[in-house]
Amino acid sequence: MSTEEKQIDTSSAVKAAKSDSDKPKQRRRRRSSNSRGNKRRDDKKVSWSPSQYAVPEVEGKVRFMDFNLPDDVLHAVADLGFEYATAIQAETIPAALEGKDIIGKAQTGTGKTAAFLLGIITDLIDYPIEERRRLAEPRALIVAPTRELAMQIAADAEGLAKYTDLHVVSLVGGMDYDKQRQLLKKKPVDILVATPGRLLDFVNNKEVDLWNVEVLVLDEADRMLSMGFIPDVRSIIRATPRKGQDRQTLLYSATFTDDIMNLAQQWTLDAVQIEIEPEQKTSENVAQKVFLVSAKEKYKLLRNYIRINNIEKVIVFGNRRHETRSLCERLQKDGVSAALMSGEITQQKRIRTLEDFRSGKIEVLVATDVAGRGIHIDGVTHVINYQLPDDPDDYVHRIGRTGRAGATGTSICFACENDSFMIPEVEAEAGIKLECIHPGPELLADLDKPAKKGVQQKTESKADEEPVVSEQEAPVETVAEESVEVTEVAEAATPEAPKSTGDSEDAPAAESAEVAEAVVAEVTEKPEEKGRDEAEAETQEAPAPVEVTKAAEENLDLFVDTGVEKSEGAPAGDLVESASVSEEAAEESSQEPTDKVDDDETKAGEGRRGG
């Protein structure tokens, strides 16, 4: 072969290689509607048979077994008790199994999560990667706006994939970064569920590689827009393969604005648009009503409503963190099993709170709208809007926490002079006319506040302290007896003493002697009592009582300072003891309002931060 021929062959080879490199690499296979076949891995014996999952056919309903899902997935679906697909599931699962991009719009609580998870898990099982995979390179990526929603999706994914060897990892803020890194290093990641901020941390630190993502899901896209996550989402999407042949993209949300639809067009290719949106955005399974009540009567109404209806699992929504905190603390002080769920709660505590609420340890979950999106907790019978939401769209998501998956629920709103003007906007957003009523007298009845028990306990504690003081009266009695002995000596020395006037400088001593004599008479039950004049005369020349009286005089100022009245019926020694006791009481009483002020200041500070 000549030199010219070699050069021609070389140049043609370079051009061919260049043209091949310009073509997008097809990272995932597009299946046709009938191409599912038997590509599922057979290296794992299945001890469960679809014949054990018998669901009768019902006209107008689609069974999960009609989707031709893998046996391992169908087994998990059967364990979860799912039988018939919801409207959004019936529309989106077939399109997802065909590998099409999807823009799904459906009301909250209709099963959007299961819709995209079933498609992802089925796709990952049917098209396994045979070659050795690198760590921290997920095949499917799900982005959610909140930590709670991301962890809920991860838990649902693990439940649907429990009979497979798929590895599910969640990356959310507020959790230990190193522990999440270890989960990525444990084994190759199949499904990664993350919040935008924490995911970008891992991507920027080159600890997660998104270049092999086959399926991208953006859940609650409108929420991410309202929370300002769109720039982060753009950065995440740029780190993934190109849309189309290389990446399947699915967007789901309960509501879509024009901005979201424009973004969806940018991030998807030839997407199937599915809208399951009835005229009434809220579920028909949820009864909705509004109580017209004054702001000061809301708490009374809340307590009575929960008590009268024997509610065991309810979510109470508020608008501000400091308001929900104060409400939760008040419920807890009144003996109600309540817990707080807001942005100021640490992630670990949030997880424990949700688990306790699921298990029934907590009856009332007081929450801001951080818990209003995508949190699925079984058995929530009531949702109470303690305050109408500032954004009417949040009302739809709030009441979506009850009446889920075919169950029934109740939504109650407390509308007062501060937020009743929001009712028309809420009605317009929900697509329903709300029933507005006044609560009956039984719902506004006065509460038996446990605070009374606290007062009683405080009184009992004070009564318990009285014997301690009475035990200390023994020295006082001894002083009084010594005063009597000195008085007898003075009586022998001085037959008569002039009557003292109130202006006399010895008046305090006379009063102390009179008090001492009265105490002695009470203790010893002595029938005879000496006259006031005689007692004053005896005390004037008695040195010992004078010393005690001076001590009493010095401590009399304590009574004035602490607001305790001077007692004319207590002995001098008792005055000293009472002064010390009163001083301690004064210190305690002075500490109480200080603590209260500090607590109020703390709450106010937290309120300013929370607001």
Q: What is the CATH number of the domain that holds 87?
A: 3.40.50.300
Mark whether 272 and 291 lie in a shared domain: no
Q: CA torsion, points 464, 467, 472, 476, in degrees to nearest 10? A: 130
Query: Which amino acid makes up residue 568?
Result: E
Unique residue bearing structure tokens 């399974």: 285
CA distance 115 to 126: 17
Domain boundary among 416, 449, 482: 449
Q: What is the pLDDT of residue 607?
A: 42
Mark whether 436 and 517 lie in a shared domain: no
Q: Is 60 exceeded by the pLDDT of residue 561?
A: no
Tell me what the mean pLDDT of segment 495-512 comes to.
42
265 vs 576, which has greater pLDDT? Answer: 265
Mark whether 117 and 174 lie in a shared domain: yes
Establish if 382 belongs to a structural domain. yes
Q: Is 70 exceeded by the pLDDT of residue 64?
A: yes
Closest CA to 282 of 409, 436, 391, 389: 409
Q: What is the pLDDT of residue 452?
A: 42
Establish if 419 belongs to a structural domain. yes
Helix, strand, or coil (residue 541): coil
Tell me what the mean pLDDT of segment 354-360 comes to.
91
CA distance 435 to 382: 16
CA distance 393 to 391: 5
Tell me what the mean pLDDT of segment 572-581 comes to.
42
Categorize the per-residue pLDDT at 494 as very low, low, confident or very high, splitting at 50, 70 and 90.
Answer: very low
Tell me what the mean pLDDT of segment 75-85 comes to.
93
CA distance 150 to 157: 11
Rounded to the nearest 5°, which phi and psi values hold at 543? Answer: -70, -40
Lowest mean pLDDT across 274-278, 279-283, 349-353:
279-283
Q: Is 80 exceeded by the pLDDT of residue 139?
A: yes
Closest CA to 139 of 125, 155, 153: 125
Q: What is the pLDDT of residue 127?
A: 94
CA distance 215 to 233: 15
Q: Is 70 exceeded by the pLDDT of residue 323?
A: yes
Query: Which amino acid makes up residue 124?
Result: L
Mark whether 480 and 442 lie in a shared domain: no
Q: What is the pLDDT of residue 372?
A: 60
Q: Is 60 exceeded by the pLDDT of residue 138?
A: yes
Q: What is the pLDDT of residue 226?
A: 80
Query: Which amino acid makes up residue 108?
Result: T
| Cβ atoms of 140 and 190 closer than 8 Å | yes
Tell me what the mean pLDDT of segment 199-205 comes to.
96
CA distance 313 to 553: 63
Establish if 607 belongs to a structural domain. no
CA distance 266 to 531: 106
Mark whether 353 and 393 lie in a shared domain: yes
**Tokens describing residue 117:** 């998870």
Query: Which amino acid makes up residue 400?
Result: G
Residue pLDDT, tens place only, 431-489: 889 999 999 999 999 987 554 444 344 434 443 443 433 333 344 444 444 444 444 44
Mark whether 344 and 299 lie in a shared domain: yes
**Most trustworthy range by pLDDT among 109-118, 198-207, 339-348:** 198-207
609 vs 245, which has greater pLDDT? Answer: 245
CA distance 28 to 216: 12
Mark whether 479 and 398 lie in a shared domain: no
Query: Which amino acid makes up residue 201?
Result: D
CA distance 64 to 75: 11
CA distance 419 to 506: 70
Residue pLDDT, tens place only, 82-104: 999 998 999 999 999 999 999 98
Q: Is 70 exceeded by the pLDDT of residue 504?
A: no
595: exposed, middle or buried (Cβ count in 10 Å: 0-12, 13-18, 19+): exposed
Closest CA to 391 of 162, 595, 222, 167: 222
Mark whether 40 and 142 lie in a shared domain: yes
Establish if 600 belongs to a structural domain. no
Terminal Cα distance for the chain, rounded: 82
Q: Is 90 exceeded by the pLDDT of residue 166?
A: yes
Establish if 210 belongs to a structural domain. yes
| Cβ atoms of 115 and 62 closer than 8 Å | no
Mark whether 124 and 254 lie in a shared domain: yes
Establish if 107 belongs to a structural domain. yes
Residue pLDDT, tens place only, 404-427: 766 789 999 999 999 999 999 999
Domain boundary among 246, 276, 306: 276
Q: What is the pLDDT of residue 281?
A: 58
**CB contact set of 425 (below 8 Å; sequence gap of 6+):** 392
Closest CA to 111 of 399, 409, 461, 374: 374
Q: What is the pLDDT of residue 289?
A: 93
Q: What is the pLDDT of residue 256?
A: 73
DSSP characters over 275-291: EE--SS-S-TTEEEEEE
Q: CA torsion, points 306, 312, 315, 318, in degrees to nearest 10? A: 30
CA distance 546 to 360: 69
Unique residue bearing structure tokens 């500032």: 390
The domain containing residue 577 runs over which residues?
Answer: 472-587
Question: Could you give the strand order of the β-sheet that contains 215-219, starting from the edge strand earlier in sequence?
Answer: 168-171, 191-194, 140-143, 215-219, 248-253, 102-106, 272-276
| Cβ atoms of 423 and 415 closer than 8 Å | yes
Tell me what the mean pLDDT of segment 108-134 comes to.
91
How many domains, the chain? 3
Using left for φ > 0, alpha for ψ between -120 and 50, and beta otherwise, residue 54 falls in beta
Q: What is the pLDDT of residue 474?
A: 40
Mark whether 84 and 156 lie in a shared domain: yes
Mark whether 88 and 223 lie in a shared domain: yes
Establish if 55 belongs to a structural domain. no
Q: Is 60 exceeded by the pLDDT of residue 120?
A: yes
Residue pLDDT, tens place only, 23-43: 444 444 444 434 444 444 444
Mean pLDDT of the chain: 74
Tell me what the mean pLDDT of segment 49-60 comes to.
90
3-state DSSP of 96-161: HHCCCCEEEEECCCCCHHHHHHHHHHHHHHHCCCCCCCCCCCCCEEEECCCHHHHHHHHHHHHHHC
Domain boundary among 276, 303, 320: 276
| Cβ atoms of 470 and 513 closer than 8 Å | no
CA distance 295 to 117: 44
Categorize the per-residue pLDDT at 227 as very low, low, confident or very high, splitting at 50, 70 and 90.
Answer: confident
Establish if 334 belongs to a structural domain. yes
592 vs 397, which has greater pLDDT? Answer: 397
Mark whether 122 and 230 lie in a shared domain: yes
The percent helix, strand, coil of the chain (3-state, each to 5) is 50, 10, 35
